[in-house]
Chains A and B, each alone.
Chain A
Amino acid sequence: MKFLSEYRDQKAAEQLSQAIRQKVARPWIIMEICGGQTHTIVKTGIEDLLPREITLVHGPGCPVCVTPIELIDKAVAIAGRPDVIFCSFGDMLRVPGSSRSLFDVKAEGGDVRIAYSPLDALKLAKSNPEKQVVFFAVGFETTAPANAMSAWQADHDGIENFSLLVSHVLVPPAMEALLSSENCVVQGFLAAGHVCTVMGYEEYLPIAERYKVPIVVTGFEPLDILEGIHMTVSQLEQGRYEVENQYSRAVRREGNRPAQQRIAEVFEIAPRQWRGLGEIPASGFQLRGRFQKYDANRRFPFSGEPARESPECIAGLILQGIKKPHECPAFAVKCTPENPLGAPMVSSEGACAAYYHYGRRQNQPIQPQLSSPASR
């Protein structure tokens, strides 16, 4: 198939695997940022093609996983209202809040629908003027343009019964938070290709420079990831720390300017809570100015019980790459996709779900590298 089979070719994969083996001399820990990359890695067994020296750890780039539990509780409360049609990307429906998920609300009779695009939710608002239609606007920079567009379009068409429950997060502040933590084990990054399709990669240049860490913008097919690893390892072995673009078929240095403009028109940067990681300053979007009238937070005041996280869930350590999913005592025992204790077991991009479904072998636990490599 065009643009698919070429990136899943066994011969090319073996060649890249050989090239990585030839290049690597020391142990390295590389983090793939995006949950989509995590799934490709686990689903296609990329770790089978890597030398022992390379450890992949899985980053916080799963929008479902990092959406704070308070917001899930709020979504559950709003979705349970009889005057509301609540729309969400499919992944969010199973994520457990303090006591219930959106699926539970649906089973209890709430009008909860899966939407592929916020613009579909907007259409629903037009055709159901007697209802309030709320879209759960989660995601990284990748989904921001479409969500911004829905608010812009609602404003343009004068649609009042539409609102967004916004939980938008940004990649670069999360990377900085990880890198400045004293527990940080990550020595190189595969940056999230689709985030960079929208935003470009200029904003990663100061991060690579400040933390002396190589960052390679990487795609999502198996060969993309192997090539991204190869480029990262080359930098690490040579002591370089640059931003390179493996995913040049989709990513330009400056990104998608019209999309960025629409985002800037509708959203402003704000501090955000990250589930498992805590509050990170200037790490998300909220609706700005005249678009605040589409903020579901304002439209549906919520005073629920304080949120309760499962004390057994170690999602925070997993999202920082400090632990791997199977190192969690609850993994596959008390925590399963049917009965998840935390969000990473739910989402199709969550690391725990990936390990569960694709049954990865138990790798050795990750130890922080004490001998400081040249690049740090």
Chain B
Amino acid sequence: MADAKINPFNLSCPVPRVADDRIVLAHGGGGRLTHQLIEKIFIPAFSNAMLEQRHDGAVLPVNGARLAFTTDSFVVRPLIFPGGDIGDLAVNGTVNDLAMCGARPLYLSSGFILEEGLPMETLRTIVTSMQKAAAAAGVKLVTGDTKVVDKGKGDGVFVNTSGIGLIEANVKHSIGPAAVQPGDAVIISGDLGRHGVAILSVREGLEFESEILSDTASLWPAVEALLCAGIDIHCLRDLTRGGLATTLNEIAADRNVCIKLQEALIPVNEVVQGACEILGLDPLYVANEGRFAAIVPAAQADAALDIMKKVPVSCGSARIGSVEETPARTVVLQSRIGGNRVVDMLSGEQLPRIC
């Protein structure tokens, strides 16, 4: 009964009519439309072997060493939110993209687009938290740029950061979906949904019994610990836009495998769960800024979990599922009550429901 075969439909994806002729918000949501934008506009224009890796960062062979290189832009409203601000996000987001390549983060650049009228105090706050986050992650901010736009033409501050990291010598193969094997274990580094709910609570003026703080943090210490212990990491992904569901769908599709999850094993904080219930959101799709999924050989799963639990940023790690062969290109979740369902990639924005 609970093991009944899942026979998913052919979820083919036609060109969207509504989103064809102009950019809509969902193009930046990390879901299906973002993917279509990349596949239809960017990849054809810039096509090369490094870009074809389709990873968060490019891995570049340079004089015998392997460098990881990545870039990310940050637009968030409000600029300062419970647990962080756009400054932390901008440093940690790029540091984490490097860490997910198995690279030790080394140097960052930072570009600021400032809106006329932005209080200097706000900028100071943001820069101070960038400095703190960079110190915590052990990276140096070595170059930057500033532009100012007319009032009304920006949302206070937009920040872009690019980063360079060095892939550790003991990383033998490249860490990414290509290394994922049926039989592997899926581990996540902590509970889901804190960042998205923290942002939403401020944006919508929601108050909860206890304040939810963004989970923004550098993930490198957890990755470093895994690498030092010699864990044969197959794939790492941070669970940002689109959340766990979107990330795992990307891996399942890239590698032509099934990822099977058990809902009861996926940690979600009680207050986050409550907020999601009220707003009609699914924590599997809510953004995180300090969580990642690690896919490792089943034989090393317990060891990896022990190591991750000892590092503060991943002390809430949990083994939540496994990689299987069929049904390919699918993420399946066994619900708490024992039924099965497919976990689809996010379509458009998650919208709050009516009642």
Q: Are A104 and B336 in contact (CB under 8 A)?
A: no
Decide yes or no whether A103 CB sits under 8 A from chain B.
Answer: yes
Contacts of A334 in B (CB 8 A): 14
Q: Which of A42, A142, A143, A359 sits near B6, CB closer than 8 Å? A: A359
Q: Are A114 and B351 in contact (CB under 8 A)?
A: yes
Given contacts A1-B270, A4-B277, contact A45 B337 (CB under 8 A): yes
Decide yes or no whether B17 CB sits under 8 A from chain A.
Answer: yes
Q: Are A10 and B12 in contact (CB under 8 A)?
A: no
Q: Which of A44, A94, A104 sits near B337, CB closer than 8 Å? A: A44
| Stretch in A24-32, A125-133, A284-292, A336-344 with 4+ CB within 8 Å of B | A336-344
Q: Are A338 and B353 in contact (CB under 8 A)?
A: no
Q: Are A93 and B9 in contact (CB under 8 A)?
A: no
Q: How many residues of A sit at the interface, in one of the four size bands?
A: 35 or more
Decide yes or no whether B342 CB sits under 8 A from chain A.
Answer: yes
The distance in angstroms between the C-alpha atoms of A223 and B18, with both chains bound, is 39
> What is the distance, in angstroms, from A310's C-beta to the closest C-beta of chain B?
11
Decide yes or no whether B22 CB sits under 8 A from chain A.
Answer: yes
> What is the distance, in angstroms, from A184's C-beta to the closest C-beta of chain B?
26
Chain B 328-355 residues near chain A, CB threshold 8 A:
330, 334-344, 347-348, 351-355
Complex interface bits, A100-122 against B, C-beta within 8 A gives 1, otherwise 0: 01011011100000101000000
Q: Are B354 and A349 in contact (CB under 8 A)?
A: yes
> What is the distance, in angstroms, from A323's C-beta to the closest C-beta of chain B?
15
Decide yes or no whether B207 CB sits under 8 A from chain A.
Answer: no
Contacts of B338 in A (CB 8 A): 10, 13-14, 45, 48-49
Decide yes or no whether A64 CB sits under 8 A from chain B.
Answer: yes
Which of B8, B13, B23, B337 gathers the greatest number of chain A CB atoms within 10 Å?
B337
The distance in angstroms between the C-alpha atoms of A150 and B343, with both chains bound, is 38
> What is the distance, in angstroms, from B279's C-beta to the closest C-beta of chain A?
8
Q: Are A139 and B9 in contact (CB under 8 A)?
A: no
Contacts of B17 in A (CB 8 A): 339
Contacts of B277 in A (CB 8 A): 4
Given contacts A13-B338, A357-B347, contact A332 B12 (CB under 8 A): yes
Contacts of A362 in B (CB 8 A): 7, 9
> What is the distance, in angstroms, from A224's C-beta to the closest C-beta of chain B?
11
Which of A10, A223, A349 gathers the greatest number of chain B CB atoms within 10 Å?
A10
Q: Are B11 and A332 in contact (CB under 8 A)?
A: yes
Decide yes or no whether A9 CB sits under 8 A from chain B.
Answer: yes
The distance in angstroms between the C-alpha atoms of A104 and B26, with both chains bound, is 12
Q: Are A45 and B340 in contact (CB under 8 A)?
A: yes
Contacts of A300 in B (CB 8 A): none
Decide yes or no whether A204 CB sits under 8 A from chain B.
Answer: no
Q: Are A90 and B24 in contact (CB under 8 A)?
A: no
Contacts of A106 in B (CB 8 A): 25
* Nearest B residue to A340, CB-CB: B18
> What is the distance, in angstroms, from B33's C-beta to the closest C-beta of chain A?
6
Given contacts A89-B352, A116-B352, contact A333 B12 (CB under 8 A): yes
* Nearest B residue to A348, CB-CB: B353
Q: How many residues of B sit at the interface, in one of the four size bands?
A: 35 or more
Decide yes or no whether B2 CB sits under 8 A from chain A.
Answer: yes
Decide yes or no whether A230 CB sits under 8 A from chain B.
Answer: no
The distance in angstroms between the C-alpha atoms of A347 and B347, with both chains bound, is 12
Chain A 36-91 residues near chain B, CB threshold 8 A:
36, 42-49, 63-64, 89-91
Decide yes or no whether A140 CB sits under 8 A from chain B.
Answer: yes
Complex interface bits, A132-144 against B, C-beta within 8 A gives 1, otherwise 0: 0000001110110
Decide yes or no whether A356 CB sits under 8 A from chain B.
Answer: yes
Q: Are B339 and A336 in contact (CB under 8 A)?
A: no
Decide yes or no whether A194 CB sits under 8 A from chain B.
Answer: yes
Decide yes or no whether A8 CB sits under 8 A from chain B.
Answer: yes
* Nearest B residue to A349, CB-CB: B353
Q: Are A48 and B352 in contact (CB under 8 A)?
A: no
Q: Which of A36, A48, A93, A332 sits near B351, CB closer than 8 Å? A: A93
Complex interface bits, A1-33 against B, C-beta within 8 A gives 1, otherwise 0: 100110011100110010000000000000000
Decide yes or no whether A275 CB sits under 8 A from chain B.
Answer: no
* Nearest A residue to B16, CB-CB: A338
* Nearest A residue to B7, CB-CB: A361
* Nearest A residue to B342, CB-CB: A359
Q: Are B353 and A89 in contact (CB under 8 A)?
A: yes
Given contacts A9-B336, A45-B339, contact A63 B355 (CB under 8 A): yes
Q: Are B33 and A45 in contact (CB under 8 A)?
A: no
> What is the distance, in angstroms, from B285's C-beta to the closest C-beta of chain A?
10
Contacts of A219 in B (CB 8 A): none
Decide yes or no whether B280 CB sits under 8 A from chain A.
Answer: yes
> What is the distance, in angstroms, from B342's C-beta to the closest C-beta of chain A?
3
Decide yes or no whether A331 CB sits under 8 A from chain B.
Answer: yes
Q: Which of A44, A64, A331 sits near B339, CB closer than 8 Å? A: A44
Given contacts A94-B348, A194-B355, A338-B18, contact A46 B11 (CB under 8 A): no
> What is the distance, in angstroms, from B349's C-beta to the closest C-beta of chain A?
8
Q: Are B352 and A339 in contact (CB under 8 A)?
A: no
Decide yes or no whether A326 CB sits under 8 A from chain B.
Answer: yes
Q: Which of B16, B337, B340, B351 sits near A10, CB closer than 8 Å? A: B337
The distance in angstroms between the C-alpha atoms of A96 and B19, with both chains bound, is 13
Contacts of B337 in A (CB 8 A): 8-10, 13, 44-46, 49, 222-223, 226
4 closest pairs, A vs B, by CB? Answer: A45-B339, A359-B342, A90-B351, A13-B337
11 of the cross-chain contacts (CB-CB < 8 Å) are A1-B273, A48-B2, A91-B353, A107-B25, A140-B355, A332-B12, A336-B13, A338-B26, A356-B9, A359-B8, A360-B341
- A interface residues (Cβ-Cβ under 8 A, vs B): 1, 4-5, 8-10, 13-14, 17, 36, 42-49, 63-64, 89-94, 96, 101, 103-104, 106-108, 114, 116, 138-140, 142-143, 194, 222-223, 226, 326, 331-334, 336-339, 347-349, 355-362
Can you name 7 extra interface pairs (CB under 8 A) apart from A9-B337, A46-B339, A361-B4?
A45-B334, A45-B337, A48-B1, A49-B338, A332-B9, A338-B32, A359-B330
